[in-house]
Amino acid sequence: MARTLYDKLWDAHVVHQEENGTALIYIDRHLVHEVTSPQAFEGLKLAGRRLWQAKTVLATPDHNVPTTDRAAGIVDPVSRTQVETLDANCAEFGLNEFRMDDSRQGIVHVIGPEQGFTLPGATLVCGDSHTSTHGAFAALAFGIGTSEVEQVLATQCLWQKKSKSMLVNVNGDLPLGVTAKDLALAIIGRIGTAGGNGYAIEFGGSTIRALSMEGRMTLCNMAIEAGARAGMVAADEKTIAYVEGRPQAPKGVHWQQAVAYWRSLHSDDGAPFDAVLEFDGAAIKPQVTWGTSPEMVLSVEDRVPNPADAPSAVKKADWERALAYMGLAAGTPIGEISIDKAFIGSCTNSRIEDLREAAAVARWAVSQGRRVADTVRLAIVVPGSGLVKAQAEAEGLDQDFRAAGFEWREPGCSMCLAMNADRLEPGERCASTSNRNFEGRQGQGGRTHLVSPAMAAAAAVFGHFVDIRGLHGAAQR
Amino acid sequence: MKPFTTLQGLVAPLDRANVDTDAIIPKQFLKSIKRSGFGPNAFDEWRYLDRGEPDRDCSARPLNPDFVLNQARYRGASILLARENFGCGSSREHAPWALEDFGFRAIIAPSFADIFFNNCFKNGILPIVLAADVVDRLFRETEAQEGYRLTIDLAAQTVTTPAGEVIRFAVDGESKHRLFNGLDDIGLTLLHTDRIKAYEERRRAEAAWLFQA
């Protein structure tokens, strides 16, 4: 029988199937960070439990780490305690950890793929909802809570019910200046933040096959913002080429065996999905969120909507509350919204390709005699890992950013959720390449507009949102 | 884990859709390395007028009079009535920890985000999905009658209103069994140790590269 990619990944990991539909699923890889793990380690210690397979874990601190000079350590004592607790737990349980001063440290969802820790065909979990990112490698990857972190550490398994399957089929060439981030936001805009609840989403079609691995990661990363715990893309030659030669990738005869298997990681022709959605990639425009949920999104050509036009009473109330929080009036053109800060980074958009796209805008600005607008208080670029940072510096991107007035920082989650010192102050408005525009997400009272890296960089230069497609020479393919 | 059998409790209505876990427990409180004590900071940004910080005593902080859970009539509520997609966003289990510490043992909504829904069951909280029109009616009744209480019976899978109306709800059999008995997932999993080892042996033979690291 024809099977979906999700079926194949699921079937390969069933340890035990209960009659009531619940299955015990084996977990191959487990990423651990400082925020959602301390209570899990404490639970293990209290129960006197050992780790099932310590070698399947890769740990790093990312949420609390400072993005400025790290020589002084972490100033905030509460943040420092959390990072030190991770260090101590990893040492006690014998886990591989990239500590804050390690050149390989970074956001868990950037370093997993970078190290070849994330592999096609694997199950991968992390106490972090954006674990869906790793599905870009035809892996079954999803976020879990701390109780489940503890369970995976102790048993290598999770109790799961199989999700329904959804195919999001996208065909056509994305226009110049339109990225995987715009595609992700456009999909969420259509299906809503609950549209994927109960589903595992596979992204397919010519647009997806044309995306780089970085683009696929951005797309799968945002699957959770559409409500789906897992997003995934079939393996192809790009997937295999990305993994090859990475430090933890299979070697020698294992590599040959692995690649042969990975080539089977796609949905069979005629495999049945519970839902199928079609999108025209060529019709996608640069996206900007206007409200406090990722589904509150429009193209840069649009105007802030009027709650009177909302499709339901509940939505109308939502829109009114969102406009009040965001300090926006209905009917305002998106291009007239001014920003105070710009943030380029996060597990959504901090990989080398993202930085190249933003740096191209910075170079364009300098070539036009422009730089970050005077009205913009802060524009920061936070690479996803130490290795991304090093590569960007080798390519001179840091110089491009600095020359245009952007700050070049150390890697971490940073202003995506503001657990470190990088945050918005009440009322500040930010063009952000992160994934959530929830109230208070980037700092209490902060106002977030989600955009692509090039759109964030352009907003920083102009002081308001602009259509990247109109800046001749600024947009990269 | 605390078992959940029956609950007779005061209902508090939180009338907004897509309540995310950042709203339920803001990020600065995630710096705690403990599992308890999050209740005073549940809905911190909506509940208080000032900015909350970890380890700060909340008893003297200025309350937001407009936030529904601050109203005297809902004090001591153990059942939260909510709208669509409750608990979306971050996977933080601090969200159910905070709700449980605040006093909630059950949440009724038309839909929940998957990770949050799952996390509730690990923490003795019963998330109940009811049809949107039924939830709508419960909102109206809760707001109309001070002291509105519901009775929840997990074994029978029923919610009973003060007027005696019995509303049935669905719950996955396995989750129900574990919550009803307060069973520990890890203990249950370790009963399958032989199966896990057999799986690993089989898997090592067919996908050796996964065990190479």
Cα(A379)–Cα(A345) distance, integer angstroms: 11
Check: pTM over 0.90? Answer yes or no: yes
Q: Tell me what pLDDT residue B213 has.
A: 57
Cα(B114)–Cα(B90) distance, integer angstroms: 11
Mean pLDDT confidence for A186-215 = 98
Q: Please, which pLDDT band fits residue A475 given cuts at 50, 70 and 90? A: confident
Chain A contacts of B207, Cβ < 8 Å?
12, 121, 257-258, 261
Chain A contacts of B192, Cβ < 8 Å?
15-16, 24, 157
b vs e for A312-330, b when ≥16 Cβ sit within 10 Å of the residue's Cβ?
eebbebbbebbbebbebee
Q: Which of A41-45, A347-351, B4-8, B54-58 has the lowest mean pLDDT?
A: B54-58
Q: Tell me what pLDDT residue A472 has.
A: 83
Chain A contacts of B196, Cβ < 8 Å?
15, 24, 26, 52, 155-157
Helix extents (H) in A161-285: 180-191, 206-210, 213-221, 237-243, 252-262
Query: Is the CB of A39 less than 8 angstroms away from the CB of B173?
Result: no
Contact A72, A101 (CB under 8 A): no
Q: Please, which pLDDT band fits residue A386 given cuts at 50, 70 and 90? A: very high
Cα(B133)–Cα(B149) distance, integer angstroms: 19
In this model, does residue A440 exceed pLDDT 60?
yes
Helix (H) or strand (E) holding A408: strand A407-408
Tell me, what's the ipTM? 0.95
Q: Is B22 on the interface with A (CB under 8 A)?
A: yes
Cα(A195)–Cα(A214) distance, integer angstroms: 24
Strands of A283-344 (E only): list them: 287-289, 297-299, 341-344
What confidence tens digit (pLDDT) does each residue in A245-257 have?
A: 999 999 999 999 9
Mean pLDDT confidence for A296-309 = 98
Q: Is B205 on the interface with A (CB under 8 A)?
A: no
| Nearest CA distance, B176 vs chain A (angstrom) | 11
In this model, does residue A477 exceed pLDDT 60?
no
Cα(A306)–Cα(A330) distance, integer angstroms: 5
Residue B20's closest chain A neighbor by CA? A438
Chain A stretch 370-399, residues whose beta carbon is closer than 8 A to a beta carbon of chain B: none
Q: Tell me what pLDDT residue A139 has.
A: 98
Cα(A52)–Cα(A461) distance, integer angstroms: 51
Query: Is the CB of A440 less than 8 angstroms away from the CB of B188?
Result: no
Residue B115's closest chain A neighbor by CA? A144
Mutate to test the interface with B, among A17, A28, A159 (most CBs of B within 10 A): A159
| Nearest CA distance, B100 vs chain A (angstrom) | 15
The 3-state DSSP composition of chain B as helix, strand, coil percent (nearest 5) reads: 40, 15, 45
Query: Is the CB of B209 less than 8 angstroms away from the CB of A229?
Result: no
Residue B208's closest chain A neighbor by CA? A254
Q: Tell me what pLDDT residue A474 has.
A: 86
Q: Is B173 on the interface with A (CB under 8 A)?
A: yes
Chain A stretch 441-460, residues whose beta carbon is closer than 8 A to a beta carbon of chain B: 441, 444
Query: Is the CB of A145 less than 8 angstroms away from the CB of B174?
Result: no
Mutate to test the interface with B, among A78, A82, A244 (most CBs of B within 10 A): A78
Chain B contacts of A197, Cβ < 8 Å?
85, 111-114
Cα(B45)–Cα(A445) distance, integer angstroms: 9
What confidence tens digit (pLDDT) does each residue in A146-167 have?
A: 999 999 999 999 999 999 999 9
Cα(A372)–Cα(A52) distance, integer angstroms: 51
- Using DSSP, state whether A129 is helix, strand or coil: helix
Query: Is the CB of A81 less than 8 angstroms away from the CB of B199?
Result: no
Chain A stretch 6-65, residues whose beta carbon is closer than 8 A to a beta carbon of chain B: 12, 15-16, 18, 20-22, 24, 26, 28, 35-36, 38-39, 42, 47, 49, 52, 55-56, 63-64
Q: What is the 3-state secondary structure (H, E, C) of A337-400?
A: CECCEEEECCCCCCCHHHHHHHHHHHHHHHHCCCCCCCCCCEEEECCCEHHHHHHHHHCCHHHH
Q: Is A465 on the interface with B (CB under 8 A)?
A: no
| Nearest CA distance, A353 vs chain B (angstrom) | 25
What confidence tens digit (pLDDT) does each residue in A91-136 have?
A: 999 999 999 999 999 999 999 999 999 999 999 999 999 999 999 9
Q: Tell me what pLDDT residue B82 has.
A: 98
Q: Tell me what pLDDT residue A208 has.
A: 98
Residue B89's closest chain A neighbor by CA? A225
Chain A contacts of B123, Cβ < 8 Å?
147
Any residues with CB less than 8 A from the CB of B166 and at least 6 apart, and which?
B158, B159, B160
Mean pLDDT confidence for A261-279 = 98
Query: Is the CB of B45 less than 8 angstroms away from the CB of A439?
Result: yes
What confidence tens digit (pLDDT) does each residue in B129-168 have?
A: 999 999 999 999 999 999 999 999 999 999 999 999 999 9
User: In DSSP terms, which residues pair with A23 in a beta bridge?
Assistant: A17, A160
Chain B contacts of A161, Cβ < 8 Å?
172, 174
Chain A contacts of B113, Cβ < 8 Å?
194, 197, 227
Helix (H) or strand (E) holding A29: strand A29-32
CA distance to A7, A104, A120, per residue, from A139 (Å): 12, 22, 5
Contact B8, B151 (CB under 8 A): yes
Q: Measured between CB atoms, which of A122, A148, A439 is closest to B210? A: A122
**Residue in A470, A469, A474, A473 with CA at minimum distance from that of residue A174:** A469
Q: Which of A162-166, A229-233, A313-317, A440-444 has the lowest mean pLDDT?
A: A313-317
Query: Is the CB of B122 less than 8 angstroms away from the CB of A147?
Result: yes
The arrangement of strands across the sheet holding A14-17 comes to A14-17, A22-26, A157-161
CA distance to A355, A405, A407, A473, A477, per residue, from A395 (Å): 10, 18, 17, 19, 17
DSSP state of A222: G
Helix extents (H) in chain B: 21-24, 44-47, 94-102, 114-121, 132-144, 173-181, 185-190, 193-206
Q: Is B59 on the interface with A (CB under 8 A)?
A: no
For residue A335, the tally of other CB atoms under 10 A from its CB is 17
Q: Measured between CB atoms, which of A145, A257, A318 is closest to B17? A: A318
Q: Tell me what pLDDT residue A473 has.
A: 83
CA distance to A12, B200, B210, per residue, from A26 (Å): 9, 9, 12
| Nearest CA distance, B70 vs chain A (angstrom) | 19
| Nearest CA distance, B13 vs chain A (angstrom) | 14
For the record, the structure tokens of A314 come out as 């509940």
Residue B210's closest chain A neighbor by CA? A28
Mean pLDDT confidence for B71-92 = 97
Query: Is the CB of B111 less than 8 angstroms away from the CB of A419?
Result: no
Q: Tell me what pLDDT residue B2 has.
A: 86
Residue A83's closest chain B neighbor by CA? B31
Q: Is A85 on the interface with B (CB under 8 A)?
A: yes
Q: Tell me what pLDDT residue A38 has.
A: 98
Q: Which of A58-62, A168-172, B32-36 has the lowest mean pLDDT?
A: B32-36
Q: Tell me what pLDDT residue B55 has.
A: 85
Contact A347, A133 (CB under 8 A): yes
Chain A stretch 328-357, residues whose beta carbon is closer than 8 A to a beta carbon of chain B: none
Contact B61, B4 (CB under 8 A): no
* Residue A151 burial (10 A CB sphere; 0-12, 13-18, 19+): buried
In this model, does residue A64 exceed pLDDT 70?
yes
b vs e for A261-298, b when ≥16 Cβ sit within 10 Å of the residue's Cβ?
bbeebbbeeebebeeebebebeebbbbbbbbbbbbbbb
